[in-house]
Structure 1
C-alpha cells in the first residue's frame, strides 16, 4: 500500500458554543488552521448546544461563558450530566465575573480554560490561537466517563525517623494539572481554616488566570489562599499558589522564592521544582501530594521527597480525571500511598495531628 492510499486519521470534531459572530469567525479560522481539528457545529447558546449534542456527538466542546439565556456554567453542568464530553472553556481572563464562572465550570467538569482569541492584528493572536488549538486537541483525548472502584491503594510504609515516628510536618506541597481546580477545591475544602501548616500549590494553568484562580479558591475553602510572593514567610492556615510562568520554591531561610528558570517537563511553574526544594530544605518535615494531570511533572520531585523521609501521596486512578502524573509517580516508587480524592484531606489532617516523641 502506498502512502497516498493510506487512510487519513479522523479529525477531532469541535463544537463551538459562542454567541459573538466575531469570535465565532475567529474560532472557525483558528480551529480550521489545524489539520487535526474540524468545526462540526457553531451554537450561539447553551440551549442550542444541548439540543444538537445527541445527534452531533462532538469530540470536544469550546465553551463560551457569557451566553444569552443559560450561561456557560449551567450549560457545562447539563452537558456533563446528560452527554459527558470534554469541554474547554474560552474566557475573558481579566473580567472578574467571567473568571468566577469559568472556575466554577472547571469545578463542574470542564477540563481547561484558555483566553478568548485576539484579533489577527493583535500581538497576542498567534500564541493564544496556538494554545486554543493545542488544548482542544489534547482535551479531546481525555475520557470523561470513569467507572472504577473507589478503593485506596497502599504502596509501602512511609519513611520513618529512628524510633519509628514520622517527623512532624511543617509544610505541604500540592501539585495538579488537568482536572486540578476541582481536585484542589475538594482537598483544600477538607482542611480547616486553622490547619497548622502552610500549603504551597502548583496548578498548571495560563498565567492570565492565576490571580482569578487563587481568588476563587480563597472564596470557597476555609484556609486563606493567595498568590505566592517572593520573600514571604509561609504561615499556617495559608495556601500559597505559584503565579503564572514562575517556579515556586522554598529557600534555606524558609522564605518563598520565585524564578523564571527553564521549564521542567515543559512546565513553569513545575511541580517537580517545588517538590525538589521541599525535599532539600524540609526533608521529612514536608508532605507532598500529586493530583490529577497529564504528563509526568511532579513525579521526580515527589521521589526526591520520599527519599528525604517525607510522606508522599498520589491521587488514586479511581478518582483522577487524568491519571498521567500520579501514574508516573507510582511507576518510579515516589508514592507512599495512593488515595481517592475524597480521602486525601483526611490523610493530611491525620498526618499533621501526629506528634513526635
Structure 2
C-alpha cells in the first residue's frame, strides 16, 4: 500500500512498484485517514508511508497502525531538512522499520538508484514480523531473562564502546544511549545502516534525545569521553592504532558502508582489551564476524537478546560465530554499560 498525498509522487511510486516483479501494488491512497480505513480490508504486507500528510500525519498514522493492525512500514521522506527528518526519525521510534529518500522525476539523475532502493526496502521489510505497539520503546518490560554470561571477564579498565545496528536500530540506539549520563567516562562509536543523506539529521535527532553529545565522526578526531560519534553517511568508521577516528570511503563490505564489522575489527586489531562491542537489532550478518574477532582478541561483546530485537539477524549471526560474551534484552544493555564503565546508576 502506498500512502502519499501528492498525486504526481503517488503515480511515480506506483510506477516504480509496478515495474518490480517482487512487488504487487494493492492500493495507493492520498491520506492517512483513507489508509486506516482501507487497512483492515486490504491487509497489505508492507506500507510506503509519506510523512507530511494533510490531517493525520505519517507519524501519527504509524502509531495507530502499529497499535491497531501492525504492518511493516517504510517511511518515504521528501526532505532531509530538520522538521521532516525529526518526524521521520520519530516514526521509526513509533515502529516504522526504515526510512528512504522520496523519488524525484524520472529524468532526474539518481532516479534509478532511488527507485531500486525503495523497491528493495519494501520487499525486505515486507518479510519482517512486527508486533503490536502499546507505547514507546521505553515502555518495554525489563523483567526479561537474559542469557547467562559466558566465561569472559569484562575489561578491568574499558576505554571505548562501539555499537552497531541496522533495521530497528534508531529507537534501540536511543534507548541504549538514553541510559548514559552526559558525564559518561567513555567515548561511544556508532554504526547505523541508513541512507547517507539522512545521517546528519539522524545524529541531530539522537543528540536531542540523549544526554551525551552526539555528532557525525570526523577524520582524525580523538574520541573523547562522554561523546557519541556516528559514522557518516556512506563512509566506514574505524579506530587507528594511534587512537584516532578513521573515516573511509573504501569499498563496501558485504554491501554495507558503513560496515559494523570494520569498526569492530579495528578495535580488535588495536584496542581489544579495552573495548566493548555491542550489536543490536538488524537484518543480515554485518558486524557478526567483527564482533567475533573482537571477542577472540580479548574484547567484551554484547548482543541484543532475541526477545527484544526487531530483527534478530545480526545478533543471531554473532552468537552463531561465538561473538557474544553476553546476550541481553534491550532495556538491560544501557545499565550494563554503566556497570562496565564503573558508573553508579542515578
Deviations 1:298-333 (A, max 9, x none): 011101111121111000000000000000000011
What pairs up with 1:113-262 in 2 under 5 angstroms? 113-145=99-131, 150-159=144-153, 166-262=155-251
The answer to whether the 8 Å contact 2:48/2:122 transfers is yes
2: CA distance, partners of 1:264 / 1:150: 34
Aligned pair 1:75/2:69, yes or no? no
SS at match of 2:258: coil
Q: 1:9 matched to which residue of 2?
A: none
Counterparts of 1:154 and 1:303 in 2: how far apart (Å)?
A: 18
Q: Deviations over 1:16-49 (max 9, x none)?
A: 0100000001000000000111111111111111
Question: What's the counterpart of residue 270 of structure 1?
Answer: 259
With structure 1 as the length reference, what TM-score do the two structures score?
Answer: 0.92
The residue matched to 1:40 in structure 2 has which SS?
A: coil
Secondary structure of 1:262's counterpart equals coil
2:173 & 2:254 partners in 1: Cα distance? 21
Taking structure 2 as the reference length, the TM-score comes to 0.95
Q: How much does 1:137 deviate?
A: 0.2
* Max Rg structure: 1
Segments of structure 2 that go 5 or more residues without pairing to the other structure are 134-140
In 2, the alpha carbon distance for the partners of 1:45 and 1:188 equals: 35
Q: 2:34 aligns with which of 48, 58, 68?
A: 48
Q: Distance in 1 between matches of 2:49 and 2:341?
A: 41
- Indicate the SS of the match to 1:98: helix
Aligned to 1:326: 315
Alpha-carbon distance, 1:348 to partner: 0.3
Unaligned runs of 5+ in 1: 1-14, 161-165
Match of 1:60 in 2: 46
2-structure distance, mates of 1:114, 1:255: 31
SS in 2 for 1:353: coil
In 1, are the aligned partners of 2:152 and 2:300 still within 8 Å (CA)?
yes
* Contact preservation (8 Å) 1:159, 1:306: no
How many angstroms apart in 2 are the aligned matches of 1:217 and 1:96? 12
Q: Is residue 279 of structure 2 the alignment partner of residue 293 of structure 1?
A: no
The match for 1:311 is 300
Q: Work out the CA distance in 2 between the residues paired with 1:181 and 1:222.
A: 16
Pairwise CA distance, 1:186: 0.5
Indicate conservation of the 8 Å contact 1:154/1:336, yes or no. Answer: no
- CA apart distance, 1:146: 7.8
CA distance in 1, matches of 2:144, 2:30: 39
Give the secondary-structure state (helix, strand or coil) at the position aligned to 1:312.
strand
Q: Does 1:335 align with 2:324?
A: yes
Indicate which of 74, 84, 87 corresponds to 1:88: 74
Q: CA deviation at 1:214?
A: 0.2
Report the secondary structure of 1:153's partner residue. coil
RMSD: 1.6
Aligned length: 336
Which of 105, 111, 128 is the aligned partner of 2:91? 105
Distance 2:225 2:81 in 1: 31
Q: Counterpart of 2:15 in 1: which secondary structure?
A: helix
Q: CA deviation at 1:266?
A: 1.3
